[in-house]
Amino acid sequence: MASILILHGPNLNLLGRREPGVYGSASLMDVNRMLEQEAQLLGVAVAVFQSNHEGALIDQIHAALESHQGILINPGAYTHTSVALRDAIAGVNIPAVEVHLSNIHRREEFRHHSYIAPVAIGQISGFGPESYRLGLRALVTYLNQIKDTAADT
């Protein structure tokens, strides 16, 4: 069974309370519960981690080499600032999907650039918590295609 590491970046622990007009009313616990249910339907395991600290997120990415086949990440504000997160994802070479609750391209100009997108297999934004579900489905589909291709060779 494939295992997916789900990473939530800074301030996502405040979901449901922080700017609900932008991020919605679902809590992080609600999002995690939804992802765990979706993972069961998809036949994968998930491990969830949230931190407001860049280094803690990087440590989780490095540790993923030992136990996870994919990474679903909402880097929060680190999307627009962290070359270190980008380098960690590139360094482990584990397929990653970047997700955002809000459409970062419809927000302030500084949010339009992602350091993560160039090293991710895809990016989904603007659908609230559904962005996570769509991201998980896309990542699992990608991993299954890789597995099927490897089995054919």
Q: Is 100 a catalytic residue?
A: yes
Quote the pTM value.
0.92
Q: Is 62 a catalytic residue?
A: no
The catalytic residue among 23, 78, 115, 132 is 23
The catalytic residue among 8, 68, 78, 100 is 100
Q: What is the pLDDT of residues 7-36, one digit of tens each?
A: 999 999 998 887 667 667 789 999 999 999
102 Cα distance to chain centroid? 14
CATH class of the domain defined by 3-152: alpha beta
Of 137, 135, 139, which Cα lies nearest the Cα of 126?
Answer: 135
Q: What is the pLDDT of residues 34-76, one digit of tens each?
A: 999 999 999 999 999 999 999 999 999 999 999 999 999 999 9
Q: How many Å apart are CA 127 and CA 131, to the nearest integer? A: 5
Give the annotated binding-site residues for substrate.
74, 80, 87, 101-102, 111
